[in-house]
A and B are shown apart, each in its own frame.
Chain A
């Protein structure tokens, strides 16, 4: 495994996420926890493979909040810990994070969060995690390249331990899933005896002590801000006499450099590695003599707003150009191209080339608008993702049964996050709403109560999703009595994110030999009376009959449709 290669100075190709893993190994990380979610999934996948060899404790936790809490517990016990998740995972963990910031930590603790502009692998929203840094007062670093991914993680562990504060490393898809040569450092083995020393004064948040903790937190942030003013993570490229400059961070920085090269320009550039706290003096110094500054950033205009505020002090006439003005534009492909930069969707190098060109009054070599117009005329039919057909996904049997037995006009279908969110595909069309893990039954309950149980809801909940957040909503349908028919799609894995294990499959003898936690037992313990476990592929008829029977029930009913993911089944056959 090349990622464990202990040859400092050697150059190997790493994916951004692999470089995050490497950075943690070079920091002597002891404890890693995660819940899978793309574009962050590889962090867990790699640690799952190497943890024994690397001497690191690793777990797939039941959800991101639990993962972060576990990592904090390890840090309280004086270990170095890493919790990794995708953007929506931080929403789940945020309840804990905001409080954790107040108390602080002991051993270095890094939280890795990956955003997904353009929603390449995200159903839910185009969320910007940067805004959490302000709300939580959590220092946040943003790497642009795999090399920086590795180096920033190492820096983050040092910073975290020095100030006893968790640090977020935030990437976007094009940083996490960018690969490039990385120069390796030394892998650090950090043998430290873990011990939790009691200190309730520090780790019990109760008023009025909690307000003192807030003071401690804000003082730490002030000090870290001072440090960020001097930090090499914020890099400037000067250019004499230019009255136009660019401020950027993360993957968009790469498009800025590409644009300057393409347009053969030398403009002053400030690349921010610290997105919170911002090096305000450094920014003020950068903008004080400029006439215009272009802000190149993805998702929310976070830097743009902050820089507008800073400009008021040092250069009130400065024109801060980004995406806040003009009509709302963008998408996976930015079609309108009227504004300087789009507000929706990820940035692409050609957008930044055009933006810089407009700013300095140059024309790009290629007429992008003309080319786009020609491309748009083609009207290529989209090919959205769909359930596997080769091998045949086990969910096709469920679709077949429902289409046979249920009148889709009379039933509402609620979805959740996993492969089965592809039930929205137009050739399947069995999804009337989709939000986040745990929400299918929460919403179904509301619909059932509102309509007096007249509009029946069938919900689809994945196995991993059920463990992640499905149980409270299920209990609510019993406690407050409603009548959804819940189909738990148990494919014995977390398929969409790359086949990670979950509590429902237990652990192999060579791991810890944990027995599977049976979904049907939990369901029964929650008070559900109508429960059946059916292999929908082997017993399609029984599945249909049960569907029919449960549709008539005036209370919650659950079918656990248990058949292993077709891809896993194929891989297992290949091995034997």
Chain B
């Protein structure tokens, strides 16, 4: 990681909390002394449509956007949306997927097998996590799946940021009333 930049794309459906995840990651990168840039989208694009946000950190960052085929890691908060992230995927890219489906209005659901076979054309480094299921069971809130994925990624060395830095960032970014649930979610993914 010393001279390399880290490129992450978070993809999902508007309303899944992408911007909060981005803020936490950016803060954690700052805590570790990295230069960092993010790019997010607001407004129209947030209303239940596909939303992708980017974060890059390292020694010196210019572009807030990850290059085509330039991602180190993809966090897919919805299964079908993982397909759209392939624009950023190269053989080196890892894809971490939340096992969660939100139907596309007016379209048939794409089967997990179909999605996986397409993803495998781009990379073999795919991991599916039952984040939504676990969050629903343990916290009765599927929307925390993003924080779960983040914790999973940092605890499994998929993101070069220490879990302590991310925890510190969560404490700084997340409003008081949601903090406890977020910290609990972060702990859940440790095991």
A-B contact pairs, 29 of them (CB 8 A): A41-B42, A120-B43, A121-B43, A177-B40, A178-B39, A178-B64, A179-B23, A179-B64, A254-B64, A255-B62, A257-B63, A350-B67, A350-B69, A350-B70, A366-B90, A371-B68, A372-B68, A380-B84, A381-B104, A382-B104, A383-B104, A385-B44, A385-B45, A385-B49, A388-B47, A389-B48, A427-B105, A496-B43, A497-B43
Separation of A251 and B90 alpha carbons in the complex (Å)? 25
A-B CB proximity, top 6 nearest: A38-B43, A121-B43, A385-B49, A385-B47, A257-B62, A350-B68
Q: Which of B29-37, B148-156, B179-187 contacts A (4 or more CB under 8 A)?
A: B29-37
Decide: A179 near B42, CB < 8 A? Known: A348-B65, A348-B68.
Answer: no
Interface size of B by Cβ–Cβ distance < 8 Å? 48
The residue of chain A having its C-beta at the shortest distance from the C-beta of B41 within the complex is: A120
Asked whether, in the complex, the Cβ of A121 is within 8 Å of the Cβ of B63, the reply is no
Which of B44, B50, B104 has the most chain A CB atoms inside 10 A of its CB? B44
Interface: A359 (CB within 8 A)? no
- CB neighbours of A360 from chain B (8 A): none
A566 CB, nearest partner CB in chain B, Å: 12
Asked whether, in the complex, the Cβ of B42 is within 8 Å of the Cβ of A386, the reply is no
> Can you list, as one digit per residue, whether each of A117-132 has a CB less than 8 Å from chain B (1) or not (0)?
0001111000000000
Asked whether, in the complex, the Cβ of A121 is within 8 Å of the Cβ of B48, the reply is no
B93 CB, nearest partner CB in chain A, Å: 12
Asked whether, in the complex, the Cβ of B38 is within 8 Å of the Cβ of A498, the reply is no
Separation of A353 and B67 alpha carbons in the complex (Å)? 9
Decide: A177 near B44, CB < 8 A? Known: A353-B67, A380-B84, A385-B49.
Answer: no
> Can you list, as one digit per residue, whether each of B48-67 has a CB less than 8 Å from chain A (1) or not (0)?
11100000000001111111
- CB neighbours of A383 from chain B (8 A): 13, 48-50, 80-81, 104
Asked whether, in the complex, the Cβ of A368 is within 8 Å of the Cβ of B43, the reply is no
Separation of A122 and B41 alpha carbons in the complex (Å)? 12
Interface: A290 (CB within 8 A)? no
Interface SS majority for chain B: loop
- CB neighbours of A389 from chain B (8 A): 48
Which of B64, B69, B87, B107 is A333 in contact with, Cβ under 8 Å?
Answer: B87
Separation of A1 and B68 alpha carbons in the complex (Å)? 36
Asked whether, in the complex, the Cβ of B106 is within 8 Å of the Cβ of A427, the reply is yes
- CB neighbours of B41 from chain A (8 A): 120-121, 173, 177
Q: Which residues of B from 103 to 125 have beta carbons under 8 Å from A?
A: 104-107, 110, 118, 121-122
Interface size of A by Cβ–Cβ distance < 8 Å? 55
Interface: A180 (CB within 8 A)? yes
Interface: B98 (CB within 8 A)? no
Decide: A174 near B69, CB < 8 A? Known: A179-B38, A181-B35, A383-B50.
Answer: no
- CB neighbours of B26 from chain A (8 A): 13, 179
B61 CB, nearest partner CB in chain A, Å: 8
* Chain A contacts to B: CB under 8 angstroms: 11, 13, 15, 38-39, 41-42, 120-123, 173-174, 177-181, 251, 254-255, 257-258, 261-262, 333, 348-350, 353, 366, 368, 371-372, 374-375, 378, 380-389, 419, 422, 425-427, 496-498
Asked whether, in the complex, the Cβ of B70 is within 8 Å of the Cβ of A366, the reply is yes
Interface: B46 (CB within 8 A)? yes
Which of A41, A350, A366 has the most chain B CB atoms inside 10 A of its CB? A350
Separation of A255 and B70 alpha carbons in the complex (Å)? 14
B34 CB, nearest partner CB in chain A, Å: 9
Interface: B27 (CB within 8 A)? yes
> Can you list, as one digit per residue, whether each of B63-87 has a CB less than 8 Å from chain A (1) or not (0)?
1111111100000000011011011
Separation of A238 and B124 alpha carbons in the complex (Å)? 43
Asked whether, in the complex, the Cβ of B63 is within 8 Å of the Cβ of A254, the reply is yes
Separation of A484 and B64 alpha carbons in the complex (Å)? 47
B11 CB, nearest partner CB in chain A, Å: 11
Interface: B14 (CB within 8 A)? yes
- CB neighbours of A427 from chain B (8 A): 105-106
Asked whether, in the complex, the Cβ of B43 is within 8 Å of the Cβ of A366, the reply is no
- CB neighbours of A177 from chain B (8 A): 39-42
Decide: A121 near B44, CB < 8 A? Known: A368-B69, A381-B107.
Answer: yes
Asked whether, in the complex, the Cβ of A388 is within 8 Å of the Cβ of B65, the reply is no
- CB neighbours of A382 from chain B (8 A): 50, 104
A126 CB, nearest partner CB in chain B, Å: 14
Separation of A333 and B50 alpha carbons in the complex (Å)? 14
- CB neighbours of A123 from chain B (8 A): 44
The residue of chain A having its C-beta at the shortest distance from the C-beta of B82 within the complex is: A380
- CB neighbours of A374 from chain B (8 A): 121-122
A379 CB, nearest partner CB in chain B, Å: 10
Separation of A116 and B57 alpha carbons in the complex (Å)? 25
- CB neighbours of B107 from chain A (8 A): 381
Which of B30, B65, B69 is A371 in contact with, Cβ under 8 Å?
Answer: B69
- CB neighbours of B70 from chain A (8 A): 349-350, 366
- CB neighbours of B45 from chain A (8 A): 120-121, 385
Decide: A349 near B118, CB < 8 A? Known: A179-B26, A371-B68, A427-B106.
Answer: no
Separation of A425 and B105 alpha carbons in the complex (Å)? 9
- CB neighbours of A350 from chain B (8 A): 67-70
- CB neighbours of A384 from chain B (8 A): 49
Decide: A258 near B63, CB < 8 A? Known: A181-B30, A348-B68, A368-B68.
Answer: yes
Which of B39, B48, B69 is A386 in contact with, Cβ under 8 Å?
Answer: B48
A296 CB, nearest partner CB in chain B, Å: 12
Asked whether, in the complex, the Cβ of A349 is within 8 Å of the Cβ of B106, the reply is no
A256 CB, nearest partner CB in chain B, Å: 8
Separation of A497 and B67 alpha carbons in the complex (Å)? 29
Separation of A174 and B40 alpha carbons in the complex (Å)? 8
Separation of A120 and B49 alpha carbons in the complex (Å)? 11
- CB neighbours of B65 from chain A (8 A): 174, 255, 348-349
Separation of A177 and B43 alpha carbons in the complex (Å)? 11
- CB neighbours of A333 from chain B (8 A): 87
- CB neighbours of B80 from chain A (8 A): 380, 383
